[in-house]
Homo-oligomer: A and B are copies of this chain.
Amino acid sequence: MLALTVVGLTIASVSPAAEAPSPWRTLDPADTIYMELTAGRVIIELAPQFAPNHVANIKALVRAKYFDQQRINRVQDNFVTQWGDPKFAGPLGEAKRALPGEFTRPAAGLPFTLLPDSDTYAPETGFVAGFPAARDPATGQAWAVHCYGMVGVGRGDSTDSGSGAELYAVNGHAPRNLDRNITLVGRVVQGMELLSSLPRGKGAGGFYENPSQHTVIKMMRVAADVPEAERTPLEALRTDSPEFAKHVEARRNRREEWYKVPAGKIEVCNVPLPIRKKSGLETRD
Protein backbone atom coordinates (compact mmCIF):
# COMPACT_ATOMS: atom_id res chain seq x y z
CA MET A 1 0.00 0.00 0.00
CA LEU A 2 1.89 3.00 -1.29
CA ALA A 3 -0.93 5.49 -1.28
CA LEU A 4 -1.35 7.76 1.69
CA THR A 5 -4.78 9.20 2.30
CA VAL A 6 -5.19 12.28 4.40
CA VAL A 7 -8.68 13.58 5.14
CA GLY A 8 -10.08 15.21 2.02
CA LEU A 9 -6.72 15.05 0.30
CA THR A 10 -5.07 12.28 -1.64
CA ILE A 11 -1.34 11.94 -1.93
CA ALA A 12 -0.53 9.15 -4.33
CA SER A 13 2.98 7.85 -4.54
CA VAL A 14 3.05 4.63 -6.48
CA SER A 15 6.23 3.36 -8.07
CA PRO A 16 5.73 2.14 -11.66
CA ALA A 17 6.57 -1.41 -10.65
CA ALA A 18 4.02 -1.54 -7.84
CA GLU A 19 0.54 -2.84 -8.56
CA ALA A 20 -2.08 -0.77 -6.75
CA PRO A 21 -4.56 -2.81 -4.73
CA SER A 22 -8.11 -2.66 -6.07
CA PRO A 23 -10.21 -0.02 -4.29
CA TRP A 24 -13.19 -2.37 -4.67
CA ARG A 25 -13.98 -5.19 -2.29
CA THR A 26 -16.36 -8.07 -2.91
CA LEU A 27 -19.16 -8.25 -0.34
CA ASP A 28 -18.63 -11.22 1.95
CA PRO A 29 -21.45 -13.73 1.27
CA ALA A 30 -21.21 -14.85 4.90
CA ASP A 31 -22.27 -11.37 6.03
CA THR A 32 -24.75 -10.58 3.27
CA ILE A 33 -28.48 -11.20 3.56
CA TYR A 34 -31.00 -11.47 0.75
CA MET A 35 -34.59 -10.53 1.52
CA GLU A 36 -36.73 -11.86 -1.32
CA LEU A 37 -39.90 -9.93 -2.08
CA THR A 38 -42.27 -10.43 -4.98
CA ALA A 39 -40.99 -7.08 -6.27
CA GLY A 40 -37.37 -8.21 -6.14
CA ARG A 41 -34.33 -8.82 -3.97
CA VAL A 42 -33.28 -6.51 -1.16
CA ILE A 43 -29.61 -6.98 -0.22
CA ILE A 44 -28.32 -6.14 3.24
CA GLU A 45 -24.64 -6.02 4.19
CA LEU A 46 -24.23 -6.92 7.86
CA ALA A 47 -21.92 -5.03 10.23
CA PRO A 48 -20.28 -7.48 12.64
CA GLN A 49 -17.78 -4.70 13.42
CA PHE A 50 -20.51 -2.95 15.39
CA ALA A 51 -22.95 -5.66 16.43
CA PRO A 52 -21.29 -9.10 16.41
CA ASN A 53 -23.87 -10.73 18.68
CA HIS A 54 -26.89 -9.37 16.85
CA VAL A 55 -25.39 -10.21 13.46
CA ALA A 56 -24.82 -13.80 14.60
CA ASN A 57 -28.37 -13.95 15.98
CA ILE A 58 -29.93 -12.61 12.78
CA LYS A 59 -27.98 -15.15 10.73
CA ALA A 60 -29.26 -17.88 13.07
CA LEU A 61 -32.83 -16.63 12.62
CA VAL A 62 -32.41 -16.47 8.85
CA ARG A 63 -30.96 -20.00 8.80
CA ALA A 64 -33.88 -21.23 10.91
CA LYS A 65 -36.13 -19.70 8.18
CA TYR A 66 -37.64 -17.49 10.84
CA PHE A 67 -38.37 -14.68 8.39
CA ASP A 68 -39.84 -16.81 5.60
CA GLN A 69 -43.44 -15.71 5.02
CA GLN A 70 -43.10 -13.00 7.63
CA ARG A 71 -44.42 -9.53 6.78
CA ILE A 72 -43.41 -5.94 6.33
CA ASN A 73 -45.96 -4.59 8.79
CA ARG A 74 -44.84 -0.98 9.28
CA VAL A 75 -43.94 1.83 6.91
CA GLN A 76 -43.81 5.23 8.59
CA ASP A 77 -43.19 8.11 6.23
CA ASN A 78 -39.79 9.74 6.58
CA PHE A 79 -38.77 7.27 9.28
CA VAL A 80 -38.62 3.47 8.95
CA THR A 81 -39.83 0.41 7.04
CA GLN A 82 -40.08 -2.50 9.48
CA TRP A 83 -40.56 -6.27 9.23
CA GLY A 84 -40.58 -9.43 11.29
CA ASP A 85 -42.31 -10.26 14.53
CA PRO A 86 -40.81 -9.58 17.97
CA LYS A 87 -43.22 -12.16 19.42
CA PHE A 88 -41.26 -14.97 17.74
CA ALA A 89 -43.91 -16.14 15.33
CA GLY A 90 -41.42 -18.36 13.52
CA PRO A 91 -38.85 -21.05 14.32
CA LEU A 92 -35.91 -19.73 16.36
CA GLY A 93 -33.31 -22.40 15.65
CA GLU A 94 -30.11 -21.51 17.47
CA ALA A 95 -31.14 -17.87 17.92
CA LYS A 96 -31.53 -16.19 21.29
CA ARG A 97 -34.75 -14.46 22.29
CA ALA A 98 -33.02 -11.35 23.59
CA LEU A 99 -29.57 -9.81 23.57
CA PRO A 100 -27.93 -6.93 25.37
CA GLY A 101 -27.90 -3.86 23.13
CA GLU A 102 -24.81 -3.22 21.00
CA PHE A 103 -25.25 0.54 20.76
CA THR A 104 -21.59 1.59 20.84
CA ARG A 105 -18.23 -0.17 20.92
CA PRO A 106 -14.66 0.82 21.78
CA ALA A 107 -13.13 2.99 19.08
CA ALA A 108 -9.70 1.54 19.78
CA GLY A 109 -8.58 -0.85 17.08
CA LEU A 110 -11.36 0.16 14.70
CA PRO A 111 -10.01 1.58 11.40
CA PHE A 112 -11.94 4.80 10.88
CA THR A 113 -11.88 7.02 7.77
CA LEU A 114 -12.54 10.47 9.18
CA LEU A 115 -14.63 13.08 7.37
CA PRO A 116 -13.24 16.60 7.56
CA ASP A 117 -16.50 18.42 8.31
CA SER A 118 -18.39 19.02 11.51
CA ASP A 119 -21.53 17.13 12.44
CA THR A 120 -24.45 18.29 14.56
CA TYR A 121 -24.62 15.09 16.60
CA ALA A 122 -21.13 13.66 17.04
CA PRO A 123 -17.61 14.97 17.64
CA GLU A 124 -16.30 12.92 14.70
CA THR A 125 -17.96 11.17 11.78
CA GLY A 126 -16.67 9.03 8.94
CA PHE A 127 -16.69 5.44 7.72
CA VAL A 128 -15.81 2.04 9.06
CA ALA A 129 -15.55 -0.71 6.43
CA GLY A 130 -18.30 0.89 4.33
CA PHE A 131 -20.62 1.87 7.18
CA PRO A 132 -21.32 5.48 8.15
CA ALA A 133 -20.08 5.90 11.70
CA ALA A 134 -19.28 8.31 14.51
CA ARG A 135 -16.67 8.47 17.22
CA ASP A 136 -16.18 10.35 20.46
CA PRO A 137 -12.59 10.83 21.61
CA ALA A 138 -13.84 11.83 25.06
CA THR A 139 -15.50 8.48 25.72
CA GLY A 140 -13.38 6.33 23.41
CA GLN A 141 -16.57 4.93 21.86
CA ALA A 142 -17.59 4.48 18.22
CA TRP A 143 -20.98 3.66 16.72
CA ALA A 144 -22.74 3.20 13.41
CA VAL A 145 -25.11 6.07 12.55
CA HIS A 146 -28.69 6.16 11.30
CA CYS A 147 -28.35 7.20 7.67
CA TYR A 148 -30.84 6.39 4.91
CA GLY A 149 -30.86 2.63 4.26
CA MET A 150 -29.26 1.63 7.56
CA VAL A 151 -30.81 -1.45 9.16
CA GLY A 152 -31.44 -1.81 12.88
CA VAL A 153 -32.99 -4.09 15.48
CA GLY A 154 -36.34 -3.20 17.02
CA ARG A 155 -36.44 -3.29 20.81
CA GLY A 156 -38.81 -2.51 23.68
CA ASP A 157 -38.09 -0.02 26.44
CA SER A 158 -35.45 -2.29 27.93
CA THR A 159 -32.05 -2.06 26.21
CA ASP A 160 -31.67 -5.85 26.29
CA SER A 161 -35.04 -6.64 24.71
CA GLY A 162 -33.99 -6.81 21.05
CA SER A 163 -33.10 -10.00 19.21
CA GLY A 164 -33.15 -9.29 15.51
CA ALA A 165 -36.56 -10.94 15.03
CA GLU A 166 -37.87 -7.48 14.16
CA LEU A 167 -35.78 -5.29 11.85
CA TYR A 168 -36.16 -1.83 10.32
CA ALA A 169 -34.54 0.17 7.53
CA VAL A 170 -34.37 3.97 7.59
CA ASN A 171 -36.53 5.28 4.70
CA GLY A 172 -36.17 9.07 5.13
CA HIS A 173 -34.07 11.80 6.64
CA ALA A 174 -31.47 10.36 9.02
CA PRO A 175 -33.08 9.98 12.48
CA ARG A 176 -29.81 10.60 14.24
CA ASN A 177 -31.59 10.86 17.59
CA LEU A 178 -31.70 7.04 17.47
CA ASP A 179 -27.90 6.81 17.43
CA ARG A 180 -26.50 5.11 20.55
CA ASN A 181 -30.04 4.10 21.55
CA ILE A 182 -30.54 1.04 19.39
CA THR A 183 -28.48 -1.61 17.66
CA LEU A 184 -27.61 -1.04 14.01
CA VAL A 185 -26.68 -4.23 12.19
CA GLY A 186 -26.02 -3.23 8.60
CA ARG A 187 -27.26 -1.35 5.59
CA VAL A 188 -29.28 -1.99 2.45
CA VAL A 189 -26.87 -2.01 -0.48
CA GLN A 190 -29.39 -2.89 -3.21
CA GLY A 191 -33.18 -2.70 -3.44
CA MET A 192 -33.79 0.04 -0.87
CA GLU A 193 -36.33 1.54 -3.29
CA LEU A 194 -38.47 -1.58 -2.81
CA LEU A 195 -38.76 -0.73 0.90
CA SER A 196 -39.05 3.05 0.54
CA SER A 197 -41.79 3.07 -2.10
CA LEU A 198 -44.26 0.95 -0.13
CA PRO A 199 -47.56 2.56 0.85
CA ARG A 200 -47.38 4.15 4.28
CA GLY A 201 -49.30 2.48 7.09
CA LYS A 202 -52.18 4.56 8.42
CA GLY A 203 -52.11 3.25 11.97
CA ALA A 204 -50.11 4.80 14.81
CA GLY A 205 -46.37 4.76 14.03
CA GLY A 206 -47.02 3.78 10.43
CA PHE A 207 -48.21 0.26 11.26
CA TYR A 208 -50.71 -1.05 8.74
CA GLU A 209 -54.23 -1.25 10.07
CA ASN A 210 -55.06 -4.38 8.11
CA PRO A 211 -52.81 -7.43 7.67
CA SER A 212 -53.95 -7.62 4.05
CA GLN A 213 -51.83 -4.51 3.47
CA HIS A 214 -48.65 -6.26 4.59
CA THR A 215 -45.92 -7.11 2.12
CA VAL A 216 -44.99 -10.78 2.37
CA ILE A 217 -41.33 -11.69 2.68
CA LYS A 218 -40.93 -14.77 0.51
CA MET A 219 -37.72 -15.66 2.30
CA MET A 220 -34.52 -14.33 3.80
CA ARG A 221 -31.24 -16.10 3.14
CA VAL A 222 -27.57 -15.69 4.00
CA ALA A 223 -25.91 -15.18 0.59
CA ALA A 224 -23.35 -17.87 1.41
CA ASP A 225 -26.20 -20.40 1.68
CA VAL A 226 -27.53 -19.54 -1.79
CA PRO A 227 -26.12 -21.43 -4.80
CA GLU A 228 -23.44 -19.28 -6.38
CA ALA A 229 -25.33 -18.99 -9.66
CA GLU A 230 -28.26 -17.38 -7.81
CA ARG A 231 -26.21 -14.83 -5.90
CA THR A 232 -25.97 -11.17 -6.83
CA PRO A 233 -22.23 -10.47 -7.02
CA LEU A 234 -21.64 -6.98 -5.65
CA GLU A 235 -18.57 -4.92 -4.95
CA ALA A 236 -18.31 -1.90 -2.69
CA LEU A 237 -15.77 0.88 -2.96
CA ARG A 238 -13.44 0.58 0.02
CA THR A 239 -14.06 3.55 2.29
CA ASP A 240 -10.40 3.50 3.32
CA SER A 241 -9.17 3.84 -0.27
CA PRO A 242 -7.73 6.93 -1.98
CA GLU A 243 -10.50 6.55 -4.57
CA PHE A 244 -13.13 6.94 -1.85
CA ALA A 245 -11.35 10.07 -0.58
CA LYS A 246 -11.59 11.48 -4.12
CA HIS A 247 -15.26 10.53 -4.25
CA VAL A 248 -15.93 12.35 -0.97
CA GLU A 249 -14.08 15.43 -2.19
CA ALA A 250 -16.06 15.41 -5.47
CA ARG A 251 -19.28 15.41 -3.42
CA ARG A 252 -18.09 18.12 -1.02
CA ASN A 253 -17.34 20.41 -3.93
CA ARG A 254 -19.58 19.59 -6.85
CA ARG A 255 -17.85 20.77 -10.02
CA GLU A 256 -20.60 19.99 -12.50
CA GLU A 257 -21.67 22.99 -14.58
CA TRP A 258 -25.07 22.97 -12.89
CA TYR A 259 -23.64 23.81 -9.45
CA LYS A 260 -22.89 27.47 -8.79
CA VAL A 261 -22.07 27.35 -5.07
CA PRO A 262 -20.23 24.15 -4.06
CA ALA A 263 -21.16 23.33 -0.48
CA GLY A 264 -17.50 22.89 0.46
CA LYS A 265 -18.64 20.46 3.15
CA ILE A 266 -20.48 17.22 3.51
CA GLU A 267 -22.45 15.53 6.22
CA VAL A 268 -21.84 11.82 6.76
CA CYS A 269 -25.31 10.72 5.58
CA ASN A 270 -24.92 12.63 2.30
CA VAL A 271 -21.98 10.58 1.07
CA PRO A 272 -23.29 7.92 -1.34
CA LEU A 273 -21.55 4.59 -0.75
CA PRO A 274 -20.57 3.26 -4.17
CA ILE A 275 -21.76 -0.26 -4.96
CA ARG A 276 -21.53 -2.00 -8.33
CA LYS A 277 -22.17 -5.33 -9.93
CA LYS A 278 -18.97 -7.30 -9.90
CA SER A 279 -17.45 -7.54 -13.33
CA GLY A 280 -14.95 -10.01 -14.68
CA LEU A 281 -12.48 -7.19 -15.13
CA GLU A 282 -10.57 -5.78 -12.22
CA THR A 283 -11.03 -2.02 -11.98
CA ARG A 284 -7.89 0.08 -11.68
CA ASP A 285 -9.66 3.41 -11.87
Supposing A118-B120, A148-B173 touch, asked if A179 and B78 sit within 8 A by C-beta, the answer is no
Q: Is the CB of A270 within 8 A of B78?
A: no
**Any chain B CB within 8 A of the CB of A119?**
yes
Partner of A196, one of B77, B260, B263: B77
Q: Is the CB of A261 within 8 A of B181?
A: yes
**Any chain B CB within 8 A of the CB of A176?**
yes
**Any chain B CB within 8 A of the CB of A285?**
no
**Any chain B CB within 8 A of the CB of A225?**
no
Assembly CA distance A159 to B259 (angstroms): 9
A94-119 residues at the B interface, CB under 8 angstroms: 103, 117-119
Contacts of A263 in B (CB 8 A): 121, 176-177, 179
**Any chain B CB within 8 A of the CB of A180?**
yes
Q: Which residue of B lies closest to A264 (CB)?
A: B121
Q: Is the CB of B260 within 8 A of A193?
A: no
Contacts of A199 in B (CB 8 A): 197
Contacts of A192 in B (CB 8 A): 77-78
Q: Which residue of B lies closest to A194 (CB)?
A: B200
Contacts of A251 in B (CB 8 A): 177
Contacts of A260 in B (CB 8 A): 103, 159, 180-181
Contacts of A262 in B (CB 8 A): 177
Contacts of A177 in B (CB 8 A): 251, 254, 259, 262-263, 266, 270
State which size class the interface on A falls in.
35 or more
A139-192 residues at the B interface, CB under 8 angstroms: 147-149, 156-157, 159, 172-177, 179-181, 192
Q: Which residue of B lies closest to A272 (CB)?
A: B78
Contacts of A198 in B (CB 8 A): 197
**Any chain B CB within 8 A of the CB of A219?**
no
Contacts of A267 in B (CB 8 A): 120-121, 176
Q: Is the CB of B259 within 8 A of A196?
A: no
- Sample of 13 more A-B contacts, CB < 8 Å, known A118-B118, A177-B251: A78-B196, A117-B120, A118-B120, A119-B120, A147-B173, A172-B173, A172-B196, A176-B270, A180-B261, A181-B258, A181-B261, A193-B200, A196-B197
